[in-house]
Structure 1
Amino acid sequence: MTRFGRYIELFVWVAGLLWLAFTEVESAHYSVCVFRAAGFEHCPGCGLGHGVSHLLHGRLAESWASHPLAIPALLILLNRMWQLVKFDSTNKHQIQ
């Protein structure tokens, strides 16, 4: 992946987490679920965004109720963001 691609990926993850951090999920009735849009009744990922948003607001019980995998998902995202930042800082002197 190019350096530009890594910046884009980092921007997307940071922007998504900031959006979830500054959005009150109780008042928002949004869904970008492809399965729901296709008419499926159940999606294994539904509620994950709400769960991460609850975590970012410090509401652990609501996060667990929304989706039990919200905590691991947030940890995985933070780890990926750290990898992208770390890669950039360790490869500053390389010419691409």
Structure 2
Amino acid sequence: MKKGIKHIPVEAIIWIAALIYLAFISPEEPHFTLCPLKNLNFHFCPGCGLGQSISLAFHGHFIASLKAHPLGIFAIMVLSFRVITLLKTQFITTNN
């Protein structure tokens, strides 16, 4: 098991960490951001809207999620599929 954990692809770790972060933050409250548009006080940023949409979906606010960004729920599915594919590919090639 230790051998497998050491070989988890960095991309998978980044996506897992991002999804966990979005699942645990409160989408209604302001939070730390690296977004240059948000930091310059622009009120609309497609990337921030997507992150907020994902966070809202994780909290069960699906209508608000679709209003924040229509692709938020789709992004969760795509990122989840990507993580599963990365892990599956890594562990199939490692175990053979």
TM-score where L is the length of structure 2: 0.77
Aligned identity (percent) is 33
Equivalent residue number for residue 57 of structure 2: 55
Within the alignment, does 1:73 sit opposite 2:75 as a pair?
Answer: yes
- Residue type matched to 1:18 in 2? I
CA distance in 2, matches of 1:32, 1:18: 17
Query: In the superposition, relative to structure 1, how do residues 38 and 50 fare at CA in structure 2: closer, same or farther (>3 Å)?
Result: closer
Query: In the superposition, relative to structure 1, how do residues 38 and 59 fare at CA in structure 2: closer, same or farther (>3 Å)?
Result: closer
Runs of 4 or more above 4 Å deviation: 37-42
CA distance in 1, matches of 2:29, 2:91: 39
Give unmatched runs, 5+ long, in structure 1.
none
CA displacement at 1:40 relative to structure 2: 9.2
Equivalent residue number for residue 23 of structure 1: 25
RMSD over aligned Cα, in angstroms? 2.4
Count of equivalent residues:
90
CA distance in 2, matches of 1:9, 1:39: 29
- Between structures 1 and 2, the one with greater helix share: 2
Give unmatched runs, 5+ long, in structure 2.
1-5
Equivalent residue number for residue 14 of structure 2: 12
TM-score where L is the length of structure 1: 0.77
